Amino acid sequence: MAQVLEFKLPDLGEGLTEAEIVRWLVEVGDVVAIDQPVVEVETAKAMVEVPCPYGGVVTARFGDEGTELPVGAPLLTVAVGEPADGGEPEGSGNVLVGYGTAAPPARRRRVRQAPAARPTAHQPAPAGPVNGSSGSSHAGADRAAATGHAERAAGRGRRAGGPAGPAPAAERPVDGPVPVISPLVRRLARENGLDLRRLSGSGPDGLILRADVEDALRTGATAVPGPSHAGDPHAPVRATAAQVPAGQTPGAQTPAARTSASPASGSRVPLKGVRGAVADKLSRSRREIPDATCWVDADATELMRARAAMNAAGGPKISLLALLARICTAALARYPELNSTVDTEAREIVRLDAVHLGFAAQTERGLVVPVVRDAHARDAESLTAEFARLTEAARTGALTPGELTGGTFTLNNYGVFGVDGSTPIINHPEAAMLGVGRIVPKPWVHDGELAVRQVVQLSLTFDHRVCDGGTAGGFLRYVADCVEQPAVLLRTV
Q: Helix count (H) and strand count (E) of the chain?
A: 9, 21
Spatial CB neighbours of 395, under 8 Å, sequence gap ≥ 6: 363, 364
- From the candidates 343, 374, 379, 464, which is the catalytic residue? 464
- Angstrom distance (rounded) from CA 409 to CA 324: 13
Report CA-CA distances (Å) from 186 to 130, 149, 183, 194, 213.
12, 21, 5, 9, 9
Residue 149 is among the residues annotated as catalytic for this protein: no
What is the maximum span of the chain, computed from C-alpha positions, in angstroms?
95
Torsion angles phi and psi, residue 340, rounded to 5: -150, 180
Q: Which of 343, 374, 379, 468 is catalytic?
A: 468
Q: Which candidate, 105, 112, 72, places its Cα nearest to that of 88?
A: 105
Bridge partners of residue 57, in order along the sequence: 31, 79
Nearest to 430 by CA among 324, 382, 376, 359: 359
- Residue 199 · residue 221 · CB < 8 Å: yes
- Is 280 marked active-site? no
Residue 110 gets the label, from left (phi > 0), alpha (psi -120 to 50) or beta, of beta
CA dihedral of 204, 205, 206, 208, whole degrees rounded to 10: -50
Active site positions, annotated:
464, 468
